[in-house]
Amino acid sequence: MNQEKLYLAGPMCFYIDGYPRWYVMRDRAKVKGFAVTMPSEGELEMDPVDLRKNARIIFENCVKCMEASTAILCNLEFYRGPDVDGGSIFELGMAYAKGAHCYCYTRDKRPMVWKYQGSTLKNGAVYDQKGRVLPYGDLPFSPNIVGSSKIIEGDFDDCLRVFSVDMEEKRKHAAAASPVAPQKACADHAGGPVVYLAGPERYDADAADVYAHRKALCAEKGFHAIVPTDAVPGLPLPDTDDPYRNAYLTFLRQQQHVRDCDILLANLNDFHGWEPDGDTAFECGMAYQLGKKMYSYMACTAPMIQRVPNFGPESGYRDACGCNAENFDYPINLMFSASMPVYEGDFEAALEQMAASFWKQNT
């Protein structure tokens, strides 16, 4: 019998008592008969001086563990604001891309409108602090998270129990099941390499105008741009009154764009709190696992220990909740920083640098 191999994702490594918790989770999964790839066994050889090298060492270990995994159990607790740890969602995207079972857990599965703090009500609509109609206000998490995963309300043990039962059922039904062909890229675009523009602009009121302008800029650089809101032939539009059906259709559209692209250009600016939006984080992980070329940008690329408020080196750069800000001389979680360039500036500046890098390597 094949043994499921679990990747336990979440921000636990940033907690004061996070590693002991993480190791207890690993032991509980082993008691259930599963192998655990992450947290991995053994110590990594870290460089005492080169912080970015350490980030790459950790990232490469995560990639190695993900390659060996058949399932991910991901902690969706809010982290530094009303959204999920971006690095964990990057890993969720990797897991989905490789066909692993995707399970998540949260203590609060209420819609975002209940959980987002600081919203305003104007003209019958709820707005976030940046003036957008509250993204996915009728869902507990972003469409890519909801669409890709089974989300259990409860803690890790609850998620592990559900996963265990589901795997028992899977084994029972496997004897009569027909194999499912993996999803293939279906787009056939003329006009140069296909670049997918991932970012939270998909939720802005002027998204159509912004995307039209950015597509034109990409064309000038020799790229064919596709964006999250572009339709996929044969896929229904999310126009029902069921938010979960709409979320799944949105997810199917967006993940197809990631499959169809040659390049992903991601806006990793802070979304809600100090993390990128969940859809973009997921798409970055998926693109990495599928072997896409990846580039990203942020308005400020100062190291995290400067960007995220914390109590300084004496505390281990811990924030107000006791979670440490990563000290790898990078502006964002190492899953992003160690997997792609993070340019400083706006979209146009990033496109200029991406084009120079891409065409230098491909001409």
Q: What b/e readout covers 202-234, taking b as 16+ CB neighbours within 10 angstroms? A: bbbeebeebbeebbeebeebebbbbbbebebee
What pLDDT is recorded for position 172? 74
My answer on whether 340 and 198 are in the same domain is yes
Q: Which residues contact 175 (CB under 8 A, 6 or more apart)?
A: none
Listed range (186-190, 195-199, 238-242) with the worst mean pLDDT: 186-190
Q: What b/e readout covers 340-351, taking b as 16+ CB neighbours within 10 angstroms? A: bebbeeebeebb
Higher pLDDT, 322 or 215: 215
Token representation of residue 271: 């979304």
My answer on whether 128 and 214 are in the same domain is no
- The segment with the largest mean pLDDT, out of 22-31, 176-185, 241-250, is 22-31
pLDDT in tens, 33-54: 999 999 988 888 988 899 999 9
Listed range (162-176, 313-327, 341-355) with the worst mean pLDDT: 162-176
My answer on whether 226 and 156 are in the same domain is no
pLDDT over threshold 60, residue 188: no
Q: How much of the chain is in helix, strand and coil states, percent to nearest 5? A: 40, 15, 45
pLDDT over threshold 80, residue 191: no
Average pLDDT, stretch 194-207? 97
Mean pLDDT score of the chain, rounded to an integer?
93
pLDDT over threshold 70, residue 154: yes
pLDDT band at 177, cuts 50/70/90?
A: low
pLDDT in tens, 106-122: 999 999 999 998 899 99
My answer on whether 211 and 318 are in the same domain is yes
My answer on whether 248 and 279 are in the same domain is yes
Q: Which residues contact 351 (CB under 8 A, 6 or more apart)?
A: 214, 217, 218, 221, 265
My answer on whether 203 and 336 are in the same domain is yes
pLDDT band at 176, cuts 50/70/90?
A: low
122 membership: H or E segment, kind and range: strand 120-122
My answer on whether 303 and 236 are in the same domain is yes
My answer on whether 141 and 267 are in the same domain is no
pLDDT over threshold 90, residue 208: yes
Q: What is the CATH number of the domain that holds 11?
A: 3.40.50.450
pLDDT in tens, 275-319: 999 999 999 999 999 999 999 999 999 999 999 999 999 999 999
What pLDDT is recorded for position 180? 46
pLDDT in tens, 55-81: 999 999 999 999 999 999 999 998 888
Q: Note whether residue 129 is domain-resident.
A: yes
What pLDDT is recorded for position 190? 66
My answer on whether 165 and 211 are in the same domain is no
Q: Note whether residue 187 is domain-resident.
A: no
- The span from the CA of 7 to the CA of 71, in Å, is 6
My answer on whether 207 and 137 are in the same domain is no
Number of structural domains in the chain: 2
Q: Note whether residue 104 is domain-resident.
A: yes
Q: Note whether residue 24 is domain-resident.
A: yes
Q: What percent of the chain has pLDDT above 90?
A: 81
Q: Note whether residue 119 is domain-resident.
A: yes
My answer on whether 26 and 87 are in the same domain is yes
My answer on whether 168 and 39 are in the same domain is yes
What pLDDT is recorded for position 42? 81
What pLDDT is recorded for position 183? 59
Average pLDDT, stretch 202-231? 97
What pLDDT is recorded for position 187? 54
What pLDDT is recorded for position 67? 97
Structural domain span for residue 157: 5-174
Give the bridge partners for 204, in sequence order: none
* Burial category of 17 from C-beta neighbours within 10 Å (exposed 0-12, middle 13-18, buried 19 and up): exposed
Domain stop point among 107, 142, 174: 174
Q: Note whether residue 273 is domain-resident.
A: yes
Q: Note whether residue 109 is domain-resident.
A: yes
Q: Note whether residue 188 is domain-resident.
A: no
What pLDDT is recorded for position 125? 93
